[in-house]
Amino acid sequence: MSHSYRWVIVAVGGLLGCVAFGAMFSLPVFLRPMAQDTGWSVTGISAAMTIAFLAMGVASLGWGGLSDRYGARPVVFGGSVVLAASLALASGASSLGEFQWVYGLLVGGATAAIFAPMMACVTGWFDTQRSLAVSLVSAGMGIAPMTMAPLAGWLVEHHGWRTAMLVIACIVAVLMIPAALLVRRPPALEAGPVGEAAGAAPVDMTVDQAVRSRPFILLMAANVFCCATHSGPIFHTVSYAMTCGISTIAAVSIYGVEGLAGMFGRLGFGLAGDRFGAHRVLVLGLLAQAFAVLAYVSVSSLGGFYAVATMTGFIYAGTMPLYAVLIRENFPLGMMGTLIGASAMAGSLGMSSGPLLGGWIYDHMGSYALMYVGSAGLGLVAMLILMAFRPFPDKGALVARAG
């Protein structure tokens, strides 16, 4: 039962991730219609996404710690309820400031309740095929641009942005709340706290020691720069395509192509991580990501956007789940929620930079080119940081060498 149920956990995690992140990441689709309808600035609306990423980062650490203590199910359930309610509230916002704080703080904070607890839960259910399982859960988030974003686009076009956001709130409630009830604790944790790590981390390590350790700090730093690399391109490419004369519907489809490629990327990187090692695959992925985002500078036609979106989507989506795998390989199971939450906080910090900086660059320079060049530079920094990562020394090997 428990062995087969682990794939149910993967399916539930994929569904929750798809709906939650699809709802939050629909904001780029709302961007121009909202600005035209309300008179709010593009930079101001984009700032709501920056606030959401920051809120997600802070909340990830808290939600992750709660999932270590009480299990993933109550955390994911509570997050699903808050997400549905906050989207409904945001749809009725009467001022830009109100929208920024409701969408930013509540939607961002509630979405964080899904990622770290579910990633920690899944890593605990799998001793083999772990990279693949984590990547499949993450693939749910990759489906979002192909499902929630086009749906949001259709709803906005036919019913206006307020009704569209309210409908998405209802979809969140109907799909996520029942799915959250299917989440179960990993069998290894059912008997009580578990200290063992999959790698060579000390079994008596505390959370404080873990977050201060060199391996974890390097993983956090790499995650910040990695997410900063693709944050601006993810958020602004639809808008960039429109400035190149591409229609709204066609521009949104670039987002879908990126998401489809990301599904294959997660699967490919997951299989490669299981076979060749998560660290090696992630380093190569970060190098490739830097050159992929830079390629956006040279495109202006829909075909060119599709080609680069396919490449960037495959790579950045494939790299992201491997951070959770590296954490599970190097730290005790009983603190996975907290550590993956801390890693998600680092990633959210990186993601928060793109919407605001990209909007600022465009507003002041009339072009997105500098954003893509800067993003590529950040990608190379991420790769160099991760190259410095080393797992904890194997105690058995050290003892044998000393003897």
CATH of the domain at 279: 1.20.1250.20
Using CA atoms of 282, 344, 56, 20 in order, give the dihedral in degrees to the nearest 10: 60
Query: How far apart, in Å, are the Cα atoms of 92 and each of 55, 88, 102, 161, 305?
Result: 21, 7, 10, 10, 34
| Residue 247 placed within a domain | yes
Task: Please indicate, yes or no, if residue 219 is contained in any of the structural domains.
Answer: yes
CA angle 294, 296, 301 (to 5 degrees): 160
Distance (Å, whole) CA 319 – CA 229: 12
In a domain, 97, yes or no: yes
At residue 100, the pLDDT reads 86
Q: Report which of 249, 312, 317, 254 is spatially closest to residue 282, judged by C-alpha positions.
A: 317
Which has the closest alpha carbon to 387: 314, 297, 286, 316? 286
Contacts of range 35-41, beta carbons closer than 8 Å, 24 or more positions apart: 37/160, 37/161, 38/96, 40/96, 40/99, 41/96
Bigger pLDDT: 81 vs 238: 81
Distance of CA 264 to the CA centre of its chain: 16
Given this model, what pLDDT does residue 82 score?
A: 93
397: in domain: no
Instruction: Outline where 92-199 has alpha helix (H).
Output: 96-101, 108-125, 130-159, 161-180, 187-190
75 neighbors 113 (Cβ within 8 angstroms): yes
Residue 129 lies in a domain: yes
Q: What is the pTM of this model?
A: 0.73
Give the SS3 label for residue 260: helix
- What pLDDT band is residue 225 in, cutting at 50, 70 and 90? very high
Contact 361, 216 (CB under 8 A): no
- CB-based contacts of 327: which residues, under 8 Å, 6+ apart? 123, 216, 219, 336, 339, 340, 343
Residues in the chain: 403
Mean pLDDT of 55-81: 87
Q: Is 126 inside a domain boundary?
A: yes
The pLDDT value recorded for residue 160 is 81
Question: Quick one: tokens of 326?
Answer: 């590296």
239-296 tens-digit pLDDT: 888 888 888 778 888 877 887 888 888 888 888 888 888 899 999 999 999 999 999 8
**What percent of the chain lies above the pLDDT cut of 90?**
19
Average pLDDT, whole number, for the chain? 82
The tokens 């956090």 sit on which residue? 220
Nearest to 381 by CA among 211, 273, 155, 226: 226
Structural domain of residue 335, as residue ranges? 2-185+194-389
pLDDT interval class at 189 (50, 70, 90): low
Total structural domains in the chain? 1
197 has which bridge partners? 332
Would 399 be classed as within a structural domain? Answer: no
Position 175 confidence tier, pLDDT thresholds 50, 70, 90 = very high
In a domain, 403, yes or no: no
